[in-house]
């Protein structure tokens, strides 16, 4: 298992994991929020980062974060892990995103409300931290 930078060829695996996790995609991939379809433009092209957890050639988790319009805030838009992964991997992904924010002089990091709810609901280790 490895954590690595995501690429265009991961997009089908990202969509498959999202759909498998929620039966329907949690993010409307054909609607306004199509940022999981072109991660290079929507994340790297916006001073962001997109990480995937890969095991045996399959995407098992991901985190996507990108710059705000003013370039001052790194916004964590997506964080999802397959059901059988340990909670500590979510922490590792967040630590890499925080380091990215530090290295790129962002003033703060914001985490989307949907990411908070998912962490508190599906990963008990985060619930005591007030993320519900």
In the chain, the number of structural domains is 1
pLDDT at 129: 43
pLDDT band at 93 (very low <50, low <70, confident <90, very high): very high
Range of the domain at 94: 2-129
* CATH number, residue 70: 3.40.630.30
pLDDT at 3: 95
pLDDT at 18: 82
pLDDT at 118 over 60: yes
Residues in the chain: 132
Nearest 10 degrees: Cα torsion 9, 15, 18, 21:
-100
| CA of residue 65 relative to chain centroid, distance | 6
pLDDT at 121: 57
């Amino acid at each position: 298992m490895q954590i690595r930078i995501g690429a265009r060829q991961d997009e089908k695996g990202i969509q498959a994991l999202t759909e498998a996790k929620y039966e329907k995609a949690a993010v409307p991939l054909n609607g306004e929020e199509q940022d999981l379809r072109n991660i290079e433009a929507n994340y790297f092209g916006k001073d962001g980062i997109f990480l995937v957890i890969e095991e045996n050639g399959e995407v098992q988790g991901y985190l996507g974060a990108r710059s705000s319009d003013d370039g001052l805030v790194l916004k964590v838009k997506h964080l999802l892990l397959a059901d059988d992964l340990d909670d500590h991997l979510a922490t590792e992904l967040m630590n890499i995103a925080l380091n990215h924010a530090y290295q790129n002089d962002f003033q703060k990091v914001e985490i989307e409300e949907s990411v908070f709810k998912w962490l508190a609901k599906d990963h008990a280790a985060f619930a005591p931290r007030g993320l519900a």
